[in-house]
Amino acid sequence: MRQSYDAVVIGTGFGGAVAACRLAQAGLAVGILERGRRYPMNSFPRDFDNPLNGWLWSVGQGLFDVRPLNQMMIVQGAGYGGGSLIYANVHLRAPADVFASGWPAGYSRAALDPYYDLVAWMLDIKPITESRHLGVPPKTAAMQAAARKLGRGGQFVYPTIAVDFGEPEKIHPNRFGIEQKGCNYCGECDIGCNLLAKNTLDLNYLALAERHGAETRLQCEATRIAPSSTGYNISFIDHAAGDSEDNIQAKFLFLCGGAINSTELLLRCRDQHRTLPNLSRRLGDNYSANGDFLAFAFDTAEKLDPSRGPTITTGIVYDRGAGAERNWFIFEEGGYPKQIAGMLQILNPGGGAFGAIATMTQSELIGALRVAAGRSASATADGANSAVFLAMGRDRANGKITLAPVVNTLFVEWNVASNLPLYDAEAGLGGDIAMALGGKLALNPFWERLRQPVSVHNLGGCVMADSAERGVVNGGGEAFGYPNLFVMDGAILPGATGVNPSHTIAAVAERNIELAIRKITGNRSWRAPEAASAAPVIDPLAQVTIPVGGTMEPKTRIIGLSFTETMKGFIDKGHNPADDFLGAEKAGQAANTLIDFTLTINFPDLDAAIADPRHPGVASGVIHAAGFTGPTGAPVNNGVFNLFVDSHAPNERRMLYALPFIGADGKPYLLDGFKDVRDHGNFDVWGATSTLYTSIRDGHERTGAVVASGVMHILMPDFMRQLTTFTVSGTNDPAAKAAAIARFGRLFMGTLWDVFVKPRLP
Ligand SMILES: Cc1cc2nc3c(=O)[nH]c(=O)nc-3n(C[C@H](O)[C@H](O)[C@H](O)COP(=O)(O)OP(=O)(O)OC[C@H]3O[C@@H](n4cnc5c(N)ncnc54)[C@H](O)[C@@H]3O)c2cc1C
Ligand code: SF4
């Protein structure tokens, strides 16, 4: 292996594979750094009893990198081929109007189409209807029937997918001479195809790169980039060599670690290591989750057999509203391996396995899911009457990827409220489709409980723009202020693609690597050798018809309700005993150690929250706690609020607050509070509902040690303000809004009646 290359490519996903292939074909000496492993035929993890055996990147460089990053749950691939190893193979072009705003000069759908054609040829994409040997899977037919039943047949599509439909399980070479087997419909695409029937990047672009001399270092994770006299010095950790540190030199550097990782590496280089201090201030901005929305349907009337066929085979386009009010998304069915069918049943609302988690914080929920999954991994349910739904659409791309000061922890800030109309429409259509299939909808638990979306389609963070004031790289992917440092993955897309984004990431990479190679080699007519073979491809979305006025609104309405609450009080650090709340309050008053928070309490699905005996809501806002937070306070995200929870005694309820935050010392803390809603003998309804017995714990779980305690109160002026903050989401109809507030009021007043009045009645 060399120590110095013309070009180094970090990461082997869609951007990295295209870059490495074309640079090597153009005759450059190319070095590839990939943090994950190579997965030849029959090598993907299949130990369903042990989540630590090859599955997780964080444990021995496994396949999946799952990161709960504050306001977003991130899932991404790690391995030689990046996300292609675990993706659902869907390749769709972003509609033309996506490029109309936010993209730098030179971009349009027409300009990108030849590069889309090239990617389509390289990955040999086609719809499921071209599968001659095994026909159309039952779930595909069921989704088409559901679309027709809902009057949405005109928006139904068979997306093009990168799957080989040769004779099932028969080995044969692909068009680059690499051996693969034909798809056998096993439904395992998202856990790695052991037949190599998926046209993953290691079977085409990366194979060509190596054939043209590219040298690959696997399990090597880039940790730092610094300018050097000849270009850039890249430090990396070699996990295969006992985590030893090493470095290589590159004249030209192509960073392709994916939207989250590329942005993280550059943030660390700018703000932590300070090796690239002049990177644009816009680094981290315009993060998009591509409108991802995950849901499930259970107990469907028909057998969908979701474990038969490639993971995604259908889509239904939704397009309604105009301008800022427009909601555009595509709703796709998902399959899953039959081995996890039993495990997925824990999400079935009829199954009851989730009852207890209504009071859990994010880290408690992750723990509970692990335990429940372990228990049910061997369950025998065949899951034939269930479905996975994945919608994705044009969100506002208004997220931000940041490094927390002091501790340098990565965060994703995501504004759920401004993207809510899109999520509501996606959930609503999910409800309609579940109903059309004769089943019932179950939302992803992180969304339902914590309003935390899951994204597998992360974009942005190092976006392209025409100036450093608006973006991090120029329209060719070259970083402003750092010549010859290119970013060439999902991080540079300036907004959501709406559709599954890999096709666009790869097409943009084909465009930009062509520009880069022309500049580097001086050959102004250089083209990818395969460009001549690529023929124009029919875009499945071109066949969709959108009625005048837009597609119809979903019949399923998910009505949410929120209000803002402010509480203030005093705490005492290290008070002994910790549950002497009143004593701690007094000590806090004497020392003037104030605490306050202002929270928005949200019931994303009001009717579900009313029906749940723990009435769970999501709390977010800001907390100030003397001795814990700085003067500007600390944000609270994904906090848990339970309106009334039965306690052990009759005629007594508790209101629970679990508010995770990061202290000024960079450590995680939890405000763990309860209101003791009972009649203390003096009919003090106000006192009982406005007094919060407060503990601050180490860590984000309720098992953490108490480090401070005290009492907080709602003050009357704050309460009067609170009454004006009630907001209803999911409908614009004033009568429906009033009815939602009335339903909430009935729950609130009814409980107080039960606690305070009923026991006094003769
Ligand atoms: C379950 C699942 C299903 C999906 N289905 C689809 C689908 O059907 N269609 C679609 O379009 N998209 C799908 N996606 C999304 C798709 O995988 C991503 O959008 C795409 O892979 C992003 O491409 P990329 O080049 O930006 O980065 P990635 O493909 O994420 O590649 C980044 C690579 O860089 C490596 N890397 C990261 N950091 C470092 C480092 N510091 N040093 C060395 N190497 C590093 C990673 O291991 C990885 O191999 C899916 C994703 C998931 C998780
Ligand atoms: S269904 Fe997916 S995992 Fe199974 S053989 Fe086909 S492509 Fe591979």
pLDDT of residue 381: 60
Residue 171 CA to ligand 2 center (angstroms) comes to 14
From the alpha carbon of 196, which atom of ligand 2 is closest?
A: 8
User: Atom 2 (ligand 2): residue with closest C-alpha?
Assistant: 189
Q: How far apart, in whole angstroms, are the C-alpha atoms of residue 304 and residue 434?
A: 11
Judge whether 624 and 657 are in contact, CB under 8 Å: no
Sign of CA dihedral 297, 299, 302, 305: positive
From the alpha carbon of 78, which atom of ligand 1 is closest?
A: 47
Which residue has tokens 């509970």? Answer: 368
pLDDT of residue 114: 97
Q: Is the CB of 193 under 6 A from ligand 2?
A: yes
Ligand lying nearest the CA atom of residue 83: 1
The 10s digit of each residue's pLDDT in 626-649 is 999 999 999 998 899 998 888 777
Ligand lying nearest the CA atom of residue 9: 1
**What DSSP letter does each residue of 345-404 carry, written as one string?**
GGG-TTT-TTGGGGG--HHHHHHHHHHHHHHHTT-----TT-EEEEEEE-----BEEEE-
Residue 195 CA to ligand 2 center (angstroms) comes to 7
Q: Look at residues 130, 117, 109 and name the one whose alpha carbon lies nearest to residue 91.
A: 117
> What phi and psi values does residue 409 have, to the nearest 5 degrees?
-90, 140
From the alpha carbon of 220, which atom of ligand 1 is closest?
A: 43
Q: Is the CB of 195 under 6 A from ligand 2?
A: yes
Q: Is the CB of 197 under 6 A from ligand 2?
A: yes
**Which amino acid is residue 454, in one-letter code?**
V
| Strand partners of residue 413 | 400
Which helix or strand (DSSP H or E) is residue 513 part of? helix 502-521
- Low-confidence residues of the chain, pLDDT below 50? none
Q: Is the CB of 198 under 6 A from ligand 2?
A: yes
Q: Is the CB of 196 under 6 A from ligand 2?
A: no
Which residue has tokens 């409108």? Answer: 291
Query: Phi/psi class of residue 449: alpha, beta or left (left: φ > 0; alpha: ψ in -120 to 50)?
Result: alpha
Which residue has tokens 């970090």? Answer: 10
Q: Which fold has domain 4-543?
A: FAD/NAD(P)-binding domain (3.50.50)
pLDDT of residue 446: 82
pLDDT of residue 673: 96
pLDDT of residue 349: 62
- Give the SS3 label for residue 442: strand
User: Atom 49 (ligand 1): residue with closest C-alpha?
Assistant: 82
Sign of CA dihedral 446, 449, 452, 455: positive
Delimiting residues of CATH 3.50.50.60 domain(s) in the chain: 4-543
Q: Is the CB of 310 under 6 A from ligand 2?
A: yes
Q: How far apart, in whole angstroms, are the C-alpha atoms of residue 221 and residue 36?
A: 8
Residue 651 CA to ligand 2 center (angstroms) comes to 56
Q: Is the CB of 7 under 6 A from ligand 2?
A: no
Q: How far apart, in whole angstroms, are the C-alpha atoms of residue 624 and residue 519?
A: 53
Burial (CB < 10 A; 0-12, 13-18, 19+), residue 538, is exposed
pLDDT of residue 747: 83
From the alpha carbon of 192, which atom of ligand 2 is closest?
A: 3
From the alpha carbon of 503, which atom of ligand 1 is closest?
A: 11
Contacts of 5 (CB under 8 A, 6+ apart): 28, 29, 30, 31, 215, 248, 249, 250, 251
Residues with CB under 6 A from ligand 1: 10-16, 33-36, 75-79, 82-83, 86-90, 190, 221-222, 256-259, 261, 265, 312, 456-457, 489-490, 500-503, 505
Compute the radius of gyration of the chain from its Cα atoms: 27
Among 76, 125, 163, 201, which residue has the most ligand 1 atoms within 8 Å of its CB, making it the best to mutate?
A: 76
The 10s digit of each residue's pLDDT in 486-533 is 999 999 999 999 999 999 999 999 999 999 999 999 999 999 999 999
From the alpha carbon of 223, which atom of ligand 1 is closest?
A: 41
- Give the SS3 label for residue 594: strand
Residue 640 CA to ligand 1 center (angstroms) comes to 31
Ligand lying nearest the CA atom of residue 87: 1
Q: What is the DSSP letter of 536?
A: P
Q: Is the CB of 337 under 6 A from ligand 2?
A: no
pLDDT of residue 477: 98
Residue 15 CA to ligand 1 center (angstroms) comes to 9
Ligand lying nearest the CA atom of residue 190: 1
Residue 191 CA to ligand 2 center (angstroms) comes to 10
Residue 87 CA to ligand 1 center (angstroms) comes to 8
Q: Is the CB of 137 under 6 A from ligand 2?
A: no
Residue 249, token pair as written in the block? 């030199």
Q: Is the CB of 181 under 6 A from ligand 2?
A: no
Residue 409 CA to ligand 2 center (angstroms) comes to 37
Among 87, 126, 131, 193, which residue has the most ligand 2 atoms within 8 Å of its CB, making it the best to mutate?
A: 193
From the alpha carbon of 310, which atom of ligand 2 is closest?
A: 1
Q: How far apart, in whole angstroms, are the C-alpha atoms of residue 71 and residue 115?
A: 34
Residue 641 CA to ligand 1 center (angstroms) comes to 35
Ligand lying nearest the CA atom of residue 84: 1
Sign of CA dihedral 406, 410, 416, 418: positive
From the alpha carbon of 501, which atom of ligand 1 is closest?
A: 11
Q: Distance of CA 104 to CAs 27, 101, 113, 313, 473, Å?
A: 29, 8, 16, 33, 10
Give the max Cα distance, the chain: 95
Q: Is the CB of 189 under 6 A from ligand 2?
A: yes
Which helix or strand (DSSP H or E) is residue 454 part of? strand 454-455
From the alpha carbon of 309, which atom of ligand 2 is closest?
A: 1
pLDDT of residue 654: 83
Q: How far apart, in whole angstroms, are the C-alpha atoms of residue 95 and residue 319?
A: 12
From the alpha carbon of 312, which atom of ligand 1 is closest?
A: 8
pTM: 0.91
User: Atom 39 (ligand 1): residue with closest C-alpha?
Assistant: 257
Among 12, 87, 510, which residue has the most ligand 1 atoms within 8 Å of its CB, making it the best to mutate?
A: 87
Ligand lying nearest the CA atom of residue 198: 2
- Count H helices, E strands: the chain? 15, 31
